[in-house]
Every structure is written in C-alpha cells, then in structure tokens.
Amino acid sequence: MLEAEKITYTFSSGQQIFHEGAFISGIHILRSGKVSISVRGKKGRLQTIRLLKSTDIIGHRGMSDQVTYPISSQALVDTTICFFPLKIFNSILINNGTLTYAFMRHYIDEITRVEKRLVKMSQFSSEARIADAIIMIVEDLGISLQGELELPYNIIRQEISAISATSKEQVISVLSSFHKRRLIEKQPKRIIVTNSEELKAMPSF
C-alpha cells in the first residue's frame, strides 16, 4: 500500500525541502543523500539540530496534532526523497502495532538527544561545542569515526557553525587548533577525523 502511494522527489544540494511554518502534508523518507534539520532562534539565526542520511525520516511530527512544521530542512548534497501522504501513513500506523511501536521508540530517542544537546549548548565552551558538532556530523551521517567527513569542506564548516552556535571565525580558528593537535586532518576539500576519542573527551569549560 505504501509503495503505491509514494511520490519520489529529487532535490539539488542546497535546495530547501520544506520550511518552518509550512503545513504538514505527509512523511518524507530519505532514499539517498544527506539533509540538515534546523530551527530559527529568536535572533533569526538558523541552528542545525539534526543531520539525516539514507532511510531516515522527516516530518514525523505531523503524526501529532501539530499542523505546521516547527523545523526547516535542506539538502546538503543531491538528495532523493520518498513522500507519503499523511492520511495514508496514519492509517497504516493505526493498523500496524509493530510499526507504531518503532515510531514511539524513535520519538523517545529523539527527545533524549535533544535534551542532551540543550545541556551541552548551555554549559560547554565553544571549543567543546565544535568538537561535539564534529562527532555529531560523523555519527548522524553514519561515517566511520576514523573516516573522512563526506561533505565538501565549506558545507562541513557551515554545519559545524550551525550545530555549535558559533561564528564562522570561531570554527576556522578551532579547526586549525584541532589540526595542529592532530585531532583532525584538514585537506583542501575535506576533513579527516584522526582522534575521535579526544574530541569526545574535550573538557566542557
């Protein structure tokens, strides 16, 4: 039933998938690509709260009483998404207890992640927040902790800034420091994480 109802869309790198305040009409599942999820703060600055990869879900808050998106989403690279109308998806959930349970677990995991991130944002130093942002990019996009960040360097730098709520200048300075300390290796178009454990253990003060 889902297969018959799905609509496939493609988005170019940098293209917005939906914006905060738009009406929720369905569920998006990433078929391929990478997507950032962001919210706009009081001063109008976008802050990245999640990064998504293939098979991840966008727009699942539409299954609640919320009628508009509280978030925005943007393709980081060329991305293909399967869209399912909300009415059809909700009907399947009502009749499939296993799928409903899986979505409940997904919600709980997401809330836990958000709570932990709020603590880090309020208590960590800018250097520790940037280190945490690098680990978040690696883990959320499913990259080996000793592997390369698979995004163009300018996008990585932009996302680190948006995740850690730091300026572009702060990110450049801290990345240079991490490079000198051999925590990462900076190359013209990519970053390689060389010491993930030390990044994770970065002092919060």
Q: What is the pLDDT of residues 16-41, one digit of tens each?
A: 999 888 888 888 999 999 999 988 87
CA distance 134 to 129: 9
Residue 2 is predicted with a pLDDT of 63
Task: Give 18's contacts (C-beta < 8 A, 6+ positions apart).
Answer: 28, 58, 59, 69, 72, 73
151: confidence class by pLDDT, cuts 50, 70, 90: low
Domain end: 96, 116, 142, which one? 96
Residue 35 is predicted with a pLDDT of 93
- CATH number for the domain spanning 131: value is 1.10.10.10
The parent domain of residue 153 ranges over: 124-200
Task: Mark whether 14 and 65 lie in a shared domain.
Answer: yes
The phi and psi torsions of 109 (rounded to 5 degrees) equal: -60, -40
- The DSSP output letter for 34 is -
The phi and psi torsions of 177 (rounded to 5 degrees) equal: -65, -45
Number of domains comprising the chain? 2
Strand partners, 18: 73
**Does residue 63 surpass a pLDDT of 80?**
no
Q: What is the mean pLDDT of the chain?
A: 83
179: confidence class by pLDDT, cuts 50, 70, 90: very high
**Does residue 56 surpass a pLDDT of 80?**
yes
CA distance 166 to 168: 7
Structural tokens at position 34: 């990478």
CA distance 25 to 28: 10
Angle at 152 between CA 187 and CA 129, to 5 degrees: 80
Residue 1 is predicted with a pLDDT of 58
